[in-house]
């Protein structure tokens, strides 16, 4: 009987320990699943939409340059289309704050470079739109003729230890910073994604 009692007590102890550990195991499982979802969300949701927005910006062709067989980008239109696509796909308001149903949990910052290079159409050679903390700033650049190297950073300056992009035709480079909305955990992860796009005109020489 004493031995039987010990077996019961040991069995009860095992059950109690399991019940204590089970919530921890569930929490750990949710945490690792959430890390994976955040990574996926960062790479798919944000990266794809930044690429779509960059493409929309690069397709904002100036009509006069296009009529002359040398299509270039209208910077103001490019900025407008870039922002419009981000707002629509990420569900943001005009201040780049998330609205209901957005995968983003806080205001989005972005940096958009539009580069045409030297041209006879009166278009800016280069222009940078910086949207940080709800405020937009615009900077013009003298780029000279294309191709031109740019760094993937807030100032688009070439970096020896960072990512650089060469634009050999009128194009854009876009950088977006956003916090992905978590599903189960309270922490949010700020993610930066970038994309570049350029005009492809087979018969145009820049």
End-to-end Cα distance, the chain: 95
SS3 69: coil
Cβ neighbours around 188 below 10 Å, total:
15
Read off the tokens for 34.
């959430």
pLDDT above 70: residue 77: yes
55 Cβ contact partners less than 8 Å away, ≥ 6 residues apart: 195, 197
Q: Binning pLDDT at 50, 70 and 90, where does residue 24 land? A: very low
Who has greater pLDDT, 204 or 52? 52
Reported residue count of the chain is 206
Please report whether residue 24 resides in a domain. Answer: no
Q: What is the Cα–Cα distance from 109 to 80, expressed in whole angstroms?
A: 15
Based on its alpha-carbon atoms, the radius of gyration of the chain, rounded to whole angstroms, reads 25
Q: Is the pLDDT of residue 6 over 60?
A: no
**Which whole number is the average pLDDT over 15-42?**
49
Residue 150's closest CA among 163, 169, 138? Answer: 163
Rounded to an integer, the average pLDDT of 71-90 is 97
- Residue 62 resides in a domain: yes
Please report, to the nearest 10 degrees, the dihedral formed by the alpha carbons of residues 150, 153, 157, 158 taken in order. Answer: -60
What are the pLDDT digits (tens) for 147-195?
999 999 999 999 777 899 999 999 999 999 999 876 655 566 788 999 9
Work out how many domains the chain is built from and give that number: 1
Lowest mean pLDDT among 32-46, 127-141, 173-187: 32-46
Does 49 map to a domain? yes
Residue 8 is assigned to a structural domain of this protein? no
> For 91-99, what is the mean pLDDT?
96
Residue 130 covered by a domain? yes
- More confident: 28 or 48: 48
Percentage of residues in the chain having pLDDT higher than 70: 73
By DSSP bridging, strand 171-180 and strand 126-132 are unpaired
The Cα–Cα gap between 116 and 169 comes to 7
Q: Which has more pLDDT, 186 or 124?
A: 124
What's residue 1's pLDDT?
A: 42
With respect to residue 15, please indicate whether it lies within any of the assigned structural domains.
no
Establish if 13 belongs to a structural domain.
no
- pLDDT-derived band of residue 36, with 50, 70 and 90 as boundaries? low
How would you class 129 by CB atoms within 10 Å of its CB: exposed for 0-12, middle for 13-18, buried for 19 or more?
buried
> Residue 159's pLDDT is what?
78
Residue 206: predicted pLDDT: 64
Q: Mean pLDDT for the chain?
A: 82
- Indicate whether 99 belongs to any domain: yes
Q: What's the CA gap between 153 and 46, in Å, rounded?
A: 17
Domain span at residue 63 reads 29-198
Give the residue carrying structure tokens 């195991």.
25
- Is-contact 30 185, C-beta < 8 A? yes
């Amino acid at each position: 009987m004493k031995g039987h009692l010990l077996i019961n007590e040991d069995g009860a102890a095992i059950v109690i320990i399991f019940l204590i550990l089970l919530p921890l195991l569930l929490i750990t499982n949710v945490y690792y699943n959430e890390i994976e979802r955040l990574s996926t969300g960062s790479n798919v949701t944000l990266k794809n939409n930044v690429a779509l927005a960059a493409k929309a910006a690069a397709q904002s062709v100036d009509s006069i340059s296009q009529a002359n067989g040398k299509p270039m980008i209208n910077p103001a239109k490019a900025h407008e289309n870039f922002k419009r696509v981000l707002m629509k796909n990420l569900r943001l308001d005009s201040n780049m704050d998330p609205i209901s149903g957005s995968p983003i949990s806080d205001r989005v910052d972005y940096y958009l470079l539009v580069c045409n290079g030297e041209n006879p159409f009166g278009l800016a050679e280069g222009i940078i739109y910086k949207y940080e903390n709800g405020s937009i700033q615009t900077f013009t650049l003298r780029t000279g003729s294309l191709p031109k190297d740019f760094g993937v950073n807030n100032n688009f300056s070439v970096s020896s230890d960072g990512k650089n992009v060469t634009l050999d035709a009128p194009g854009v480079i876009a950088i977006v910073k956003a916090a992905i909305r978590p599903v189960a955990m309270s922490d949010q992860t700020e993610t930066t994604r970038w994309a570049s796009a350029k005009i492809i005109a087979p018969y145009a020489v820049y």
